[in-house]
Amino acid sequence: MSKPINEMGWDELVPGAALYTFQGDIDYNIADMQPEERLYSETSSKAMSVGDWRVIKPVWNSETCIDCQNCWIFCPDTSIIARNKEMKGVDYDHCKGCGLCVSVCPTNPKSLLMFEEYETTEDALAKWPEKKKKGE
Partner 1 sequence: MSTQKVIKNLKSFSTAAERFEGSHLLCPGCAHSIIVREVLNATNDNLVVSASTGCLEVCTAIYPHTSWDCSWIHIGFENSSTAMAGVETMNKALRNKGRISADTPQPKFVTFGGDGSTYDIGFQWISGCFERGHDFMYVCLDNEVYANTGGQRSSSTPIGSSTTTSPAGSHSYGEKRQKKDIVSIMAAHGSPYVAQVAPNKWKDMVKKIQRGFDTEGPVFINAMSACTTEWKFAPNQTIEVSDLAVDSLVFPLYEIIEGRELNITYRPKNIVPVRDYLGAQPRFKHLFTPQYDYIIDEWQTRIDERWAFLQKREEIRI
Partner 2 sequence: MNKRVLELKDVEVWDGNMSNSNAFRQADVDVVAAYPITPSTATIENYATFHANGYVDGEVIMVESEHAAMSACIGAGAAGGRVGTATSSQGLALMIETLYQASGMRIPVVLCLVNRALASPLNVNGDHSDLYLTRDSGWISIDAFNSQEAYDMTLMAFKISEHKDIRLPVISNQDGFITSHTAQNVRPLKDEVASKFVGEYVQVNALLNFDKPVTHGVQTEQDWHFEHKAKQHAALMGSKKIIQDVFAEFKELSGREYKVVEQYKMDDAEVAIVCLGSTFETAMLAVDQIRKEEGIKVGIVAPRLFRPFPLEEAAAALQNVKAVACMDRSAPGGTVGALYNEISGALINTPARPLVTNLIYGLGGRDMTIVALKDIFRTLDKDAKAGKISGNIQTLVGVRGPALSYYNVEGK
State the residues that interact with partner 2 by CB under 8 A: 8-11, 13-22, 25-27, 30
How many Cα atoms within 13 Å fall on the side-chain side of residue 21?
Answer: 5
Cβ neighbours around 79 below 10 Å, total:
22
Q: Which is nearer to partner 2, 21 or 107 (CB)?
A: 21
Q: Are 57 and 79 in contact (CB under 8 A)?
A: no
* Stretch of 26-34, 118-126, 128-136 lying at the interface with partner 1 (CB under 8 A): 26-34
Q: Is 126 in the site for partner 1 (CB under 8 A)?
A: no
CA neighbor of 67 nearest in space, from 24, 20, 107: 107
Q: Which among partner 1, partner 2, none contacts residue 62 (Cβ within 5 to 8 A by kind)?
A: none
Closest separation between CB of residue 111 and partner 2, Å? 35
Closest separation between CB of residue 128 and partner 1, Å? 19
* Gyration radius of the chain's alpha carbons: 19
CB within 8 A of 106, min separation 6: which ones?
Answer: 66, 68, 70
Q: Is 100 in the site for partner 1 (CB under 8 A)?
A: yes
* Stretch of 47-55, 118-126, 127-135 lying at the interface with partner 1 (CB under 8 A): 47-55
Angstrom distance (rounded) from CA 1 to CA 105:
41
Binding residues for partner 1 (CB under 8 A): 5-6, 17, 19, 21-22, 29-35, 38, 42-50, 53, 67-70, 72-79, 82-85, 91, 93-100, 102-104
